[in-house]
Structure 1
Amino acid sequence: MDVKEIKEQFPILQQEVNGSPLVYLDSAATSQKPNKVIEAVEDYYRRYNSNVHRGVHTLGSLATDGYEGAREKVRSFIHAPRAREIIFTRGTTTAINTVAYSYGRSVLQEGDEIVLTPMEHHSNIIPWQQAAKATGASLKYMPMHEDGTLSLEDARRTITSKTKIVAVTHVSNVLGTINPIKEITQIAHEHDAVTVVDGAQSVPHMRVDVQDLDCDFFAFSGHKMGGPTGIGVLYGKKRLLEKMEPVEFGGEMIDFVDLYDSTWKDIPWKFEGGTPIIAGAIGLGAAIDFLEDIGMENVEAHEAELAQYAMKRLKEIDGIHIYGPETRAALVTFNVDELHPHDAATALDIEGIAVRAGHHCAQPLMKWLNVVATARASFYIYNSKEDVDALTEGLIKTKEYFGDVFA
């Protein structure tokens, strides 16, 4: 990977912030967009903006081809068996809510259990809390090791004959933990439970094969992988999706409407009510093309090296506490002694370095870590070791500044 050449394709990164070159280390929250994606969205609006599916005119046909072509690109990217198993949503949150509402509330009943982990993003906790309240089911959490990893032994103890749904993140957005989804799915299936995987932090950074994982549902967002905001994906196994009822009703998702009853289209369209996210899907397709040109194996190798380098550099600074396992995805979450992470992030921003600070939509995990909040530096294809060096130097300056303030 030629990181310099890749970075040049992201126009937003060619600027200064507070008089310093921008060092963007917040891709776990949202990634930046390459020219290829920006141009694809602009081309749709400039050249063939139209609604999809029902129009027979030329622009409508072009828009439909672009929209459904993006669905096929997603199918290929995550190795799903059928394009019909790919549902476009507003993002990971909407995708998980769709499963929790449509599937979860239809199968759960009193005495059933939903198994989660303490490292889940709020988007993979709250929908299941609501499903449990609506059905009388209960939530059950797998324990975590001290380094923030899961063990298969604990998974076997937690998942039982009462378990109906196992909802787990593929990669933690705080710890960088890469969970053994394939093995957890096998355990869940031994008890006839289904798995719902939050792939928001995995799909942008590694090769994902949903058939190899054998997960039942898999959700991710376009904006974390170079695509536009407002577009996401729910993959689901055909036999499950066909049994599920839609969660939004209106145009596009209907087959026939009478005065007193209606019928739905087949999957995936019965879950895509209203005018769909056409430009977003086309932009996501362009983002997939961009990543495929680089090669996901190259993305994964580059980021693994960058994460290890970042861990090494930050450990050189006294008073830096790093959370999560040694082997991790491309992010480092940390705190600085006696300094609130918001203050650390503000000081870094003065140097043009963008990191995230707060609870990262993972308050139960913050409680587990016994902290109020953390700072997080997250990396992507346009980041280099020089960016890590800038972060390290920025943290040293931050410690010196606040050391003088509090002296």
Structure 2
Amino acid sequence: MTQTSFDVERIRKDFPVLSRELPGGRPLVYLDSGNSSQKPTQVIETMREHLALHYSNVGRAMHALGAESTEAYESARDKIAAFVGAPSRDEVVFTKNASEALNLVAYSFGNPANTDDRFRLGPGDEIVISEMEHHSNIVPWQLLAQRTGATLRWFGVTDEGRLDLSGLDDLVTERTKIISIAHQSNVLGTVNPVADVLARARQAGALVMLDASQSVPHHPVDVAALGVDFVAFTGHKMVGPSGIGVLWGRGELLEAMPPFLGGGEMIEAVWMDRSTYAPIPHKFEAGTPPIVEAIGLGAAVDYLSGVGMAAVEAHERELAAYGLDALRELPGLRLIGPDSLEMRGGTLAFTLDGIHPHDVGQILDDAFGVAVRVGHHCARPLHLRFGIPATTRASFYLYNTTGEIDALVRGLHHVQKVFA
């Protein structure tokens, strides 16, 4: 398969780590972007420059550095709001990662400080997730159920790795208060049918949240067009730094929610016996925020916007098609997830008969410099559903090439020979 007009070789030059050699002279083949992406020079230099020349705390100082730092921080919020189609910049809340964003929303349900009926939760009420979720979209809801006495329910997953909607009407009922599912699975690569779930949620009067950590970096995402209530994603998977994530929420819902953390900057006024809170989004950003990380995420959004998310998506679709074809030639390989391009991204998880994924990953790295992920990828219930302890996962991004997929396949053939 030939590359399109997408200039992957030019893009690769923006990522310094991709040109390094591993010990023994092995070139790096990085196929682990589903875990964390690499960073372009443009992001690295933006963060370095801010630390070197502009750094100060935000929103607190009247001096020049304080003004420059605040402007850069808030400018990053503007960029991110535009990137995901947020109707208002005030609906973009900075968190330290997607996990914190998910926990923030879960904290609001059943919280006595929240008097809005939409967030009231107790025995008889239900929370709906799915069997394919990352632990970050399971554990907060388990904790919520434990706190409130609500019941946690979930969508199953079909043998093909799709969300099982066969019991949708029975699963999502008038007892359902919130549904929280992955937009795209971090293991299966499956892109979930949000519109179908949302339509049923609206009939039942439930709110809907998406864990978009695996979709925002790889596809054009417009939160207003999706029509859901909350979206969480994280910077380190979208060529940005770690330590910065985003919660987008509908403004009226964020305004109704109590603060998640208390401290400086999230207040309007404080007395010894009570406090009032700042308007959104600052109500949810207690203390000194991840300033340079937010600015770095703004630079990452600039970079991805410059490439074009439609182009990123098309390139990854090519890689997924090439990878699916290439893996089919390996005897004893079992793909976990959809075997077609329909509603799926560039993440391929698999097992090899008789070989533990940890051995696969170690040999690929030691002998070929191929970096893949092995384990349950923080999605243990999904692996239990398929009757396996772990998988090997290759995940592609805008800087990967078909040649790197060829290297992966050569390495897998070698692994099979070692264990023959």
When normalised by structure 2's length, the TM-score is 0.94
Q: Report the equivalent of 1:26.
A: 32
The match for 1:146 is 159
Matches of 1:305 and 1:89 in 2, distance apart? 33
Say whether 1:261 aligns with 2:274: yes
1:104 Cα deviation from its structure 2 partner: 5.2
Identity over aligned pairs, percent: 48
In structure 2, the partner of 1:281 is 294
Pick aligned residue for 2:392 from 375, 379, 384:
375
Task: Kindly indicate whether residue 390 of structure 2 is the aligned counterpart of residue 384 of structure 1.
Answer: no
Give the drift of 1:151.
Answer: 4.7
Gaps of 5+ in 1: none
Kindly report which structure 2 residues correspond to 1:209-224, keeping only aligned pairs within 5 A, or say none. 209-224=222-237
Supply the distance in 2 between the matched residues of 1:85 and 1:374 (Cα, whole angstroms).
Answer: 37
Q: Deviations over 1:113-143 (max 9, x none)?
A: 1111100000000000000011110011112
How far, CA to CA, are the matches of 1:74 and 1:385 in structure 2? Answer: 30
Label 1:262 to 1:292 Cα distance change in 2 as closer, same or farther (>3 A): same
Q: Give the structure 2 partner of residue 5 of structure 1.
A: 10
Please state how far the C-alpha of 1:305 moved relative to its aligned partner.
1.1
Tell me, in whole angstroms, the C-alpha distance in 2 between the residues paired with 1:259 and 1:317.
Answer: 68
Q: Is the counterpart of residue 247 in structure 1 residue 260 in structure 2?
A: yes
Distance 1:296 1:154 in 2: 34
Give the Cα separation in 1 of the matches to 2:82 and 2:71.
16
Pairing 1:4-403 to 2, within 5 Å after superposition: 4-18=9-23, 19-103=25-109, 105=111, 106-325=119-338, 326-327=340-341, 328-350=344-366, 351-403=368-420
**CA offset at residue 87 of structure 1?**
0.2
Contact kept? 1:143, 1:154, Cα under 8 Å:
no
In the alignment, the residues of structure 1 paired with residue 332 and residue 360 of structure 2 have an alpha-carbon distance, to the nearest angstrom, of: 13
Amino acid at match of 2:346: A
Q: TM-score, normalised by structure 1?
A: 0.97
Q: How far does residue 262 in structure 1 lie from its aligned partner after superposition?
A: 1.0
SS at match of 1:93: helix
> Residue type matched to 1:49 in 2?
Y
Question: Mean Cα displacement is larger for which, 10-19 or 362-371?
Answer: 10-19
Amino acid at match of 1:300: E
Whether the 8 Å contact between 2:178 and 2:207 is mirrored in structure 1 is yes
- State the one-letter code of the partner of 1:269: H
CA apart distance, 1:148: 1.1
Query: What code does the residue aligned with 2:67 have?
Result: S
The one-letter code sitting in structure 2 at the alignment partner of 1:110 is P
| Rounded Cα–Cα distance in structure 1 between residues aligned with 2:257 and 2:361 | 44
**CA positional deviation for 1:32:** 0.2
CA contact (8 A) 2:155 2:165 kept: no
Q: Distance in 2 between matches of 1:188 and 1:43?
A: 46
Tell me the secondary structure at the aligned position of residue 258 of structure 2: coil
Structure-2 separation of matches of 1:375 and 1:152: 27
Letter in 2 for 1:29: N
Matched residues in 2 for 1:242 and 1:360: separation?
34
- Post-superposition shift, 1:237? 0.6
Taking the aligned partners of 1:154 and 1:3, their CA distance within structure 2 comes to: 43
| Residue identity in the other structure for 1:339 | I
Gaps of at least 5 residues in structure 2 are 1-5, 112-118
Q: 1:298 to 1:60 in 2, by over 3 A?
A: same
CA distance in 1, matches of 2:80, 2:110: 25
Shift of 1:152: 4.2
Name the CA distance, whole Å, in 1 between partners of 2:304 and 2:371.
23
- Cα separation, 1, equivalents of 2:37 and 2:168: 32
The whole-number CA distance in structure 2 between the counterparts of 1:196 and 1:81 is 17
Q: State the distance in 1 between where 2:330 and 2:155 align.
A: 33
Please provide the CA RMSD for this pair: 1.0
Q: Distance in 2 between matches of 1:362 and 1:143?
A: 14
Q: Post-superposition shift, 1:181? A: 1.3
Q: Which amino acid aligns with 1:140?
A: R
Amino acid at match of 2:375: G
Q: Is contact 2:110–2:122 with CA below 8 Å preserved after alignment?
A: no
Provide, for residues 186-216 of structure 1, a one-character-per-residue CA deviation record: whole Å limited to 9, x for no partner. Answer: 2111111001100000000000011111110
- Provide the C-alpha distance between the structure 1 equivalents of 2:346 and 2:353, rounded to a whole number of angstroms: 23
Q: Aligned letter for 1:149? A: R
Per-residue deviation, residues 214-252 of structure 1 (Å, max 9, x unmatched): 110000000000000000000011111111111111101
Instruction: State the shift of 1:182 in Å.
Output: 2.5
Contact 2:128–2:154, Cα closer than 8 Å, also in 1: yes
User: What is the alpha-carbon distance in structure 1 between the residues aligned to residue 216 and residue 249 of structure 2?
Assistant: 15
Question: 2:411 corresponds to which letter in structure 1?
Answer: G
Indicate if the aligned counterparts of 1:182 and 1:212 stay in contact, CA closer than 8 A.
no
Q: Secondary structure at the match of 2:384?
A: helix
2: CA distance, partners of 1:259 / 1:323 = 56
Q: Does the CA contact (< 8 Å) of 1:178 and 1:329 recur in 2?
A: yes
* Secondary structure in structure 1 of the residue aligned to 2:109: helix
| Residue identity matched to 1:332 | L
CA contact (8 A) 2:109 2:144 kept: no
